[in-house]
Amino acid sequence: MFSIVFILQILIIHVLVVGCARITESRVQVLPALITLLEPKGVRFLVEDPAPGTSLIEFHYSINTPLLDVDAGRWNYDVRAKTGMKSAYQHIIAVSIKYSVSRDVWVHENRNVLLNPGDIVYYWLNALVDDLAYRLLEQRYIIPGDGRPVQQNQSPCDDNLRLMLDEKFSTFDLNTWQHEVTANGGGNREFQVYTPEQGNVYVRDKTLFIKPTLTSDRFDEDFVKYGTMDVASIWGRCTSNYSNGCLKQGDGRNIVSPIMSGKIRTKLSFRYGRIEVVSKMPRGDWIWPAIWMMPQKNEYGHWPRSGEIDICESRGNVDYGGIGVHTVGSTLHWGTDYHSDRMRMTHGHKKLQGLSFGEKFVKYTLDWDALGIRVYYDGELVLNASTPKNGYYRYGYLPFNPWENSANDAPFDKEFYLILNVAVGGNNYFPDGVPNSRKPWENKSRFAPGDFWKKKNDWYATWKGEDAAMQIKSVKIWKRVD
């Protein structure tokens, strides 16, 4: 669930200068485009300004026809004027996807092209910066579903699938699941401590509830501000001391974790197969639920070299600039380090009209094999991440290959386990500056948990009992045995 504000940090090392060899140029960064669909038809490309002095960006693209090197595309356009940040932000909010910019952007729109779910946009970019050309080659984007069901052999009767887990939650089975118990806040410095308490993880009426609660309700207000949260002493164990996750000390400004919540994982792990989770997302400001997977062993190194599979993530806010509880996303994380996470190249999302993901149960399905990873919401294809023919290293233009001598689908060729959790807040997943959001903290603040806690009366009013919990009806896992 390391959802990073990616567009500011991705570093494209492999850049071409016309007439010269491949070089590295730290000042110029030609980043992959953010591609969205227009209504009733058409496509929009947004590219962050590569550098001061950029006078032109060329967009070359085709639909479902790969472009090798500098092949001419079906469509070829020059854009000679960039768009200001304010206008760019309005574009970004309109497409309901997390995407942060620090500079102006270049925008190209084509309203004459009709795209369908599963279509692949192959493209390359050429930026003219101070009369030198810098290219980003062999890019692609897969169009996610638009509400029409996609039929693509999801039958659990597949002879090559063996059922490993059929969890209907008649009780909470500690032989199947294990609790994470830590106040480390994860990779995004979220505001919760994960506990094994029954108020945070419990089963009722054959439904699993993972519910965030106030730490002050378990202890008191002074404990949140000035207390010592010794995780092992309070809950009998601590599973991660990352970021002082086993011991937090409040001093008034730096507070202990103001929220208690739950995070559980399967004891089993597997490579290739299918997962089906029937779940309803929580509703409530700054709540962050996730159904996701992590590698059993970090065989390729630290995150994200060994990969991460996010089946679905959402924000519980009802009103958050179009990226709240009406939108759910699926993402693969991979790269050489925090700054080179290529998540934007393997991301899909779905936005509902009418009922939100917090008002209905949805079946989230992951299909995973050596050919790629596909995610469906109620049978609709939302993410189709086909294994790159030359591996993720070349596909992502990474500075070096952490998966050398491995299969093309590395790092997604090892065993992973399933995680269900509900986080709150953090310093990345909820972008600053969303209009009318009344966000109580800034992501760069040293005292974000305290700033969040001071505005409790604003956000806690949106947490309506068990509506603030992620509710799970069932979990099924099949392992591929061919």
Give the pLDDT confidence of 87-116 residue by residue, as tens digits. 444 444 444 344 444 468 899 999 989 888
Of the residues 109, 142, 175, which one is the last residue of a structural domain?
A: 142
Would residue 75 count as lying in a domain? yes
Tally of domains within the chain = 2
Residue 334 in contact with residue 304, Cβ under 8 Å?
Answer: yes
State the pLDDT at residue 169: 98
**Residue-level pLDDT at 116:** 82
25 within a domain of the structure (yes/no): yes
Same domain, 113 and 168: no
**CATH number of the domain residue 80 falls in:** 2.60.40.2140
Counting Cβ atoms within 10 Å, is residue 56 exposed (0-12), middle (13-18) or buried (19+)? Answer: middle
Is 153 inside any structural domain? Answer: no
Query: In the listed set 108, 142, 176, which residue is the last one of a domain according to the structure?
Result: 142
- The total number of residues shown for the chain amounts to 482
Say what the pLDDT of residue 238 is: 98
| pLDDT (tens digit per residue) in 462-482 | 999 999 999 999 999 999 997
Indicate the SS3 state at residue 167. Answer: strand
Coarse DSSP helix, strand, coil percentages of the chain, rounded to the nearest 5 percent: 15, 35, 50
- pLDDT of 18 above 70: no
Nearest-angstrom CA–CA distance, 74 and 63? 8
227 exposed, middle or buried (CB, 10 Å; 0-12, 13-18, 19+)? middle
Contact 50, 31 (CB under 8 A): yes
CA 350 to chain centre: 13
129 and 177 together in one domain: no
Q: Give strand pairing partners of 284.
A: none
Question: Given this model, what pLDDT does residue 28 score?
Answer: 84
CB 314 within 8 A of CB 295: no
240: domain CATH number is 2.60.120.200
Domain carrying residue 289: 161-480
pTM confidence score: 0.72
Report the distance separating Cα 328 and Cα 316, nearest Å.
10
Tell me if 319 is assigned to some domain. yes
Q: Which residue has the tokens 């638009």?
A: 146
Residue 219 pLDDT > 50:
yes
Residue-level pLDDT at 353? 86
Tens-place pLDDT, residues 292-349: 999 999 999 999 999 999 999 999 999 998 899 999 999 999 999 999 999 989 999 9
Count Cβ atoms within 10 A of the Cβ of residue 157 and give its class: 0-12 exposed, 13-18 middle, 19 or more buried. exposed
pLDDT band at 159 (very low <50, low <70, confident <90, very high): low
**Is residue 312 exposed (0-12), middle (13-18) or buried (19+ Cβ within 10 Å)?**
buried
Q: Which of 143, 153, 243 is nearest to 193 (CA)?
A: 243
Residue 105 · residue 46 · CB < 8 Å: yes
